[in-house]
Amino acid sequence: MSALEIERVARERLQHAIGYRFRDPAILLRALTHRSYGHDNNERLEFLGDGLLNFTVAAEIFRLRPKAPEGDLSRLRASVVREETLAVAARRMPLSEAMLFGPGELRTGGHKRASSLADGLEALVGGVYLDGGIEPAQALCLKLLAPELASLPEVGSLKDFKTRLQEVLQAQSRPLPEYSVLSEDGPAHRRNFRVRCQLVDEPAATEAEAHSRRIAEQRAASMMLDAITSKERKNA
């Protein structure tokens, strides 16, 4: 089987998995084309799909949690429409097999990265909207994220790790931690940040990496929370 035939079969499998067949194959091809593969890629469709996902999930959470205040609704939506969750949804279908990546991205494992999968899922949603309109696009959003929407967490568990770490330290009358960027490298479209979370009143520190400074800080804060909790258990 030729490379072109393999790609065609992969696109057929993907359309079967999502329950939608594109009338315009060119839109599907663009939605599946990573920027590393060529100029006619899926970045604009990512933008469109991101907006559709946020709106559709917001409307569904609004329906599912009729008494929740605005702040809780926002946190619930953010827990669903985020890179890690979208990547999990993407892995439930044969998306990565159908996407087109440049040789360098394939060589470095870019086709398996959560960010690439999440972007591809957003682009696919955007492509369905262009091809078939708002109704099939929203139906796809709800189908892709059905497990997450069916098991929304308690709002109290959704405070971000930096906020939770701050609250723990304040409850102990301790100073707030300091965050610093240790390194920043990689190409412009794929920056990598290494961040340190340092406690002010003791030498304890944690370090984490991510493709955004915000996410790296959250991961470092999460590690610090685990360290504090572990220490408290030992001293109990």
Spatial distance between the Cα atoms of 189 and 19, rounded to a whole number of angstroms: 32
Spatial distance between the Cα atoms of 124 and 121, rounded to a whole number of angstroms: 5
Percentage, residues of the chain above pLDDT 70: 98
What pLDDT score does 61 carry?
96
Spatial distance between the Cα atoms of 104 and 83, rounded to a whole number of angstroms: 22
Q: Is 41 left (phi over 0), alpha (psi -120 to 50) or beta?
A: beta
What pLDDT score does 124 carry?
98
pLDDT reading at 121 higher than 90: yes
pLDDT reading at 158 higher than 80: no
Order the strands of the 205-210 sheet from edge to edge. Answer: 178-185, 192-198, 205-210
- Mean pLDDT for the stretch of residues 106-129: 91
Tokens in use for 111? 């086709």
pLDDT reading at 223 higher than 70: yes
Spatial distance between the Cα atoms of 150 and 195, rounded to a whole number of angstroms: 34
102, 37 contact by CB (below 8 A): yes
Tokens in use for 51? 């907006």
**Range with the lowest mean pLDDT among 26-35, 53-62, 103-112?**
103-112
What pLDDT score does 232 carry?
76
Q: What is the mean pLDDT of the chain?
A: 91
Spatial distance between the Cα atoms of 4 and 9, rounded to a whole number of angstroms: 9
Quickly state the pLDDT bin for 93 (edges 50, 70, 90).
very high
What pLDDT score does 156 carry?
67
Number of H helices, E strands in the chain: 12, 3
- Mean pLDDT for the stretch of residues 105-110: 84
Quickly state the pLDDT bin for 236 (edges 50, 70, 90).
low
201, 174 contact by CB (below 8 A): yes
pLDDT digits (tens, 9 = 90+) for 184-220: 988 777 788 999 999 999 999 999 998 889 888 988 9
28, 15 contact by CB (below 8 A): yes
3 state DSSP class of 201: coil
Domain boundaries, the chain: 3-153, 161-235
CB-CB neighbours of 235 under 10 Å: 6
CATH of domain 3-153: 1.10.1520.10
Instruction: Find the distance separating the first CA and the last CA of the chain, reported in whole Å.
Output: 64
- Mean pLDDT for the stretch of residues 151-177: 85
Question: Chain-centre distance of CA 81, in angstroms?
Answer: 7
3 state DSSP class of 183: strand
Q: Which residue has the tokens 């709800």?
A: 142
How many angstroms separate the Cα of 193 from the Cα of each of 76, 98, 115, 178, 219?
A: 26, 29, 14, 16, 11
**Any idea which fold 161-235 has?**
Double Stranded RNA Binding Domain (3.30.160)
What pLDDT score does 7 carry?
87
Query: What is the set of active-site residues?
Result: 50, 122
